[in-house]
Chains A and B, each alone.
Chain A
């Protein structure tokens, strides 16, 4: 079932750009320390530092070839109750949208998983990295959450946390009462507000209203590509026009 992958997370909404003293947006470039010349993409390679200052070059092609054929697809072979995966594993989310010809199978899987409240689990290799993913269905849409492998998580023993000690039941009850008193069915939305960004946007608004520190450059000169509207791309892909 061919699917497309789109990020389900965005970075913070107030990215600051680096500008020259005249206000021109700057571009980041890589350069060689030896020749002090900027490098094009095809003049750079990837290297693993095997010992100080000595690198083993590994190409994209080699990385791709190292993945056995069967690991290149998301092979859903296990399902678990959706709530049974501890949150410490989750890393990043991606929406899956059906590719041409797979709409039927996609809808069938999404509906089956959503009704049964199931998560699917799979591993696959993509762009030089193996991913463990869990797949969830919500509102008819499949979403993959990339996960940490168990050896990427520390155990309490790794951290060196002290052994549990026995505590009086009255102490536990004191906290239980406190928890019950502050319990809600849903998390309040204001917990997830980014106040620092809010404050930045307020400052920006104030300054632009006073025409303070506003710099302008011709738009053709812009250094880096336009910001992709991920929502628009997603909607198009779900409508089968991707």
Chain B
């Protein structure tokens, strides 16, 4: 099955324009619940009410406002908001290229595939060039009345655009104070380093990770639908905190044993 493209455009690189189609890179597998009213087991509806009177306010009467100080709003009309929208465009512009490590994980938001639209030679040539240079392009484009910034990267044989968050949406650890507490001793640091090295793998292996819980929830729902809800064990807690040194030493001993046995 071929997925439907959600947008069509041109990737602009110097004087070359590469026609591309954009596809979602994700599949939603969340177990989706609906909110029901508990008497009738029917889906609830939403509306806007005056918190004072509890009375419903009709959609046509609702206006939008920006709060400039507590309790004080500047009303903005839909026409004004429309004027703030970026100009429609079919172009993906590349502002610059950077090494992948220049973009912190914090910025990445949502991946999309770009596929060639028609002639594909330039498309695959760009994939190879990005790989050879080990660079990501910083791309700007307008889609559905919204301006996007994204990282253009080669993923396998194809191009991907991963949208990036705006500066206002990311808190950097640089702007936070260092955590309180005493500095670790050299002995502790050495032990911790050994521990991490014992647990280290050469690279991230996606296939090692599965959402087991999602499967459990679905199985539970299906059993419940057949009228045979399984009994679930109550949750017990809490754990105790042990002294750091003894925990570290114990973990190291166990791990070394496991390695030897393997």
Known: A19-B65, A87-B151, A111-B184. A148 touches B244 (CB 8 A): no
* Per-residue contact bits, chain B 193-222, to A (CB 8 Å; 1 contact, 0 not): 100110111111011111111101100111
Among B124, B151, B176, the most chain A Cβ lie within 10 Å of the Cβ of B176
| A92 CA to B16 CA, complexed, in Å | 35
Q: Residue B47 contacts which of A20, A31, A83, A121 (CB distance < 8 angstroms)?
A: A31
Known: A18-B64, A145-B105. A79 touches B96 (CB 8 A): no
Are A12 and B166 neighbours in the complex by a CB distance under 8 Å?
Answer: yes
| A145 CA to B204 CA, complexed, in Å | 14
B207 neighbours in A (Cβ, 8 Å): 150
Are B178 and A141 neighbours in the complex by a CB distance under 8 Å?
Answer: yes
- CB closest chain-A residue, reference B44: A30
Main secondary structure of the interface of B (DSSP, over half): mixed
A73 neighbours in B (Cβ, 8 Å): 239
Min CB gap A166→B, angstroms: 8
| A165 CA to B153 CA, complexed, in Å | 18
| A132 CA to B27 CA, complexed, in Å | 16
| A171 CA to B155 CA, complexed, in Å | 19
Are A88 and B129 neighbours in the complex by a CB distance under 8 Å?
Answer: no
Are B26 and A148 neighbours in the complex by a CB distance under 8 Å?
Answer: yes
Known: A10-B169, A26-B50, A187-B103. A158 touches B3 (CB 8 A): yes
Are B100 and A95 neighbours in the complex by a CB distance under 8 Å?
Answer: no
B24 neighbours in A (Cβ, 8 Å): 154
| A200 CA to B52 CA, complexed, in Å | 29
| A22 CA to B9 CA, complexed, in Å | 44
Q: Residue A162 contacts which of B65, B115, B192 (CB distance < 8 angstroms)?
A: B115
Q: Residue B64 contacts which of A1, A19, A165, A191 (CB distance < 8 angstroms)?
A: A19
| A65 CA to B233 CA, complexed, in Å | 6
| A30 CA to B73 CA, complexed, in Å | 25
Main secondary structure of the interface of A (DSSP, over half): mixed
| A113 CA to B98 CA, complexed, in Å | 25
Min CB gap A159→B, angstroms: 5
* Per-residue contact bits, chain A 14-29, to B (CB 8 Å; 1 contact, 0 not): 1011111101111111
| A105 CA to B81 CA, complexed, in Å | 50
Min CB gap B227→A, angstroms: 10
B31 neighbours in A (Cβ, 8 Å): 48
Min CB gap B86→A, angstroms: 7
Known: A176-B129, A214-B73. A103 touches B105 (CB 8 A): no
Are A194 and B221 neighbours in the complex by a CB distance under 8 Å?
Answer: no
A83 neighbours in B (Cβ, 8 Å): 100-101
Are B98 and A184 neighbours in the complex by a CB distance under 8 Å?
Answer: yes
B192 neighbours in A (Cβ, 8 Å): 108-109, 111-112
B129-143 CB contacts (< 8 Å) to partner A: 129-130, 132-133, 135, 137-138, 140
Are A165 and B121 neighbours in the complex by a CB distance under 8 Å?
Answer: yes
Known: A79-B199, A175-B125, A214-B74. A26 touches B49 (CB 8 A): yes
A140 neighbours in B (Cβ, 8 Å): 173, 178-179
A148 neighbours in B (Cβ, 8 Å): 26
B171 neighbours in A (Cβ, 8 Å): 7-10, 95, 230-231, 234
A45 neighbours in B (Cβ, 8 Å): 35-38, 41
Tell whether B84 is near chain A: CB-to-CB under 8 Å. Answer: yes
Are B170 and A33 neighbours in the complex by a CB distance under 8 Å?
Answer: no
Query: 5 A–B contact pairs at CB < 8 A?
Result: A55-B36, A86-B204, A87-B108, A153-B27, A192-B166
**Apart from the given pairs A8-B171, A83-B100, A183-B96, 4 other A-B contacts in the complex at a CB distance below 8 Å:** A20-B63, A35-B37, A88-B162, A238-B178
